Amino acid sequence: MRQDEIQSIKQRFGIIGNSAKLNYAIHVAAQVAPTEMNVLIMGESGTGKESFSKIIHSLSPRKHGQFIAINCGAIPEGTIDSELFGHEKGAFTDAREARKGFFEVTDGGTIFLDEIGEMPLGTQSRLLRVLENGEFIRVGSNKVQKTSVRVVAATNVDLLKAVEQKKFREDLYFRLSTVPISVPALRERDSDILLLFRKFASDFAEEYRVKPIKLSEDASQALGKYRFPGNIRQLKNLTQQMSLLEMEQEINVETLAKYIPAESTGGPPALLGNRGGQDDFSERDLLYKILFDMRKDVTELKKLVFELLNSGNYGSVISDHKDLFNGINDENPAEAIFGQDRLLPSDTSVVDSSNFQDNSVIEIADHLDDLEDTQDIQHEEENDSLSLEEQEKELIIKALKKNKNKRKYAARDLGISERTLYRKIKQYEIEKQK
């Protein structure tokens, strides 16, 4: 496809950028559009995957048919079959009349299934039948119906790993991924970041009739180096915040730093984006892990000080607990804790008790009002063995009790979707709470 044709598509669908990966993704979408092949769009959250589904529909023979975008992760597991395939009157509670599903309504058009990796396994079987034979059955019916719908799916997880973990059907994966399209993350299009910033700033200024903000040279460099875990959506939100809240038209690097979250060297955005990984950590899981690690370190430090108060021999204690003093800028751990004037000569590992008593002991003891006996320390160690799953189960039970078993409000309190809560309740075999 010629560059002028790709540029024409960008202008038509409001796509900003000139990176090679972006241009190739548009090229693949335009090439597959006139066919009836199924397409799987892969990319991180916030990269604009839905725009590519609209390109495929608009350039296809089905462009005059209906286009419906569905977020599979936003529909509860108990109702997703009814939403997609319809139901008959009396099929379930409150089914007071028959209802057409999306596949019936969109006959002759295109359905975009976003977050396809969140679709329940039972629904995946129904979808596979539609893709293979164009047939479906309404919930509560035994009558087979026909439909002609093109399916474009999208995911922000690794579906192959989901297949390995038995969370996604392998036959459905190969049906959907006839033509895969990879949408690049914003950090892979660093040359496009400033173009997008100027576009968002200009749009905001035009809508609210103000002067558009602009970046100083050092702020432009800082913005271009940021990883943007939220991709284009995060950049747009950041631009709108600064346009609204900042009085100065030019944004310098100090002002920009107030709106860009500090990045950790451990790279949480990359870890959180890998939701298809083996551990399948969520943000809440990571916070639990950090808290438990901190609690373990505090318990170890209590034990260490307790031994010091009883024995006065800190040289051997420090050598036995070197892992507690990692990251103190390569200082001698004893020097970092007790001060240089209390250190032993390099060839000595034991302190004479006469050199470490009275004032030294009292000085440490003043900060240990909460220090309990050895039995209490051992009890805390036992508590530390609680797994993340047990803590998560306890939180879910508390939320259900608080909201009188109403999953919608419990899920809102927990900060998760209702469908995820339903899955967790089944996983932990949680009964209704009184």
pLDDT of residue 409: 85
Host H or E run for residue 31: helix 20-32
Residue 323 — pLDDT band, cuts 50, 70, 90?
low
Stronger pLDDT, 364 or 9, i.e. the higher one: 9
pLDDT of residue 403: 85
pLDDT of residue 283: 61
Interatomic CA distance for residues 310 and 136, integer angstroms: 75
What SS3 state is found at 158?
coil
pLDDT of residue 34: 96
For the chain, state the CA radius of gyration.
Answer: 29
- Mean pLDDT computed over 82-108: 91
- pLDDT at residue 212 tops 90: yes
Strand 214-215 and strand 179-182: pairing?
Answer: unpaired
pLDDT of residue 418: 84
Interatomic CA distance for residues 144 and 148, integer angstroms: 14
pLDDT of residue 284: 63
- pLDDT at residue 346 tops 60: no
| Residues 103-147 pLDDT 10s | 999 999 999 999 999 999 999 999 999 999 999 999 999 999 999
Host H or E run for residue 203: helix 193-208
What SS3 state is found at 34?
coil
- Mean pLDDT computed over 245-266: 82
Least confident interval from 79-93, 257-271, 331-345, 391-405: 331-345
What backbone phi and psi angles, to 5 degrees, belong to 54? Answer: -70, -35
Check residue 429 and give left, alpha or beta (phi > 0: left; psi -120 to 50: alpha).
Answer: left
Interatomic CA distance for residues 251 and 257, integer angstroms: 10
Give just the sign of the alpha carbon dihedral 301, 302, 307, 313: positive
Q: For the chain, what is the total number of helices (H) and then of strands (E)? A: 21, 9
pLDDT of residue 401: 87
pLDDT of residue 432: 66
pLDDT of residue 342: 40
Its pTM stands at 0.60
Interatomic CA distance for residues 359 and 290, integer angstroms: 35
DSSP 245-290: H--SSEE-HHHHHTTSPPPPTT-HHHHHH-TTSSS---HHHHHHHH
Interatomic CA distance for residues 404 and 384, integer angstroms: 30
**Contacts of 379 by beta carbon, 8 Å cutoff, 6+ apart:** none
| Residue 47 identity | T
pLDDT of residue 345: 43
Stronger pLDDT, 31 or 352, i.e. the higher one: 31
Distance of CA 192 to the CA centre of its chain: 23
| Residues 52-84 pLDDT 10s | 999 999 999 999 999 999 999 999 988 999 999
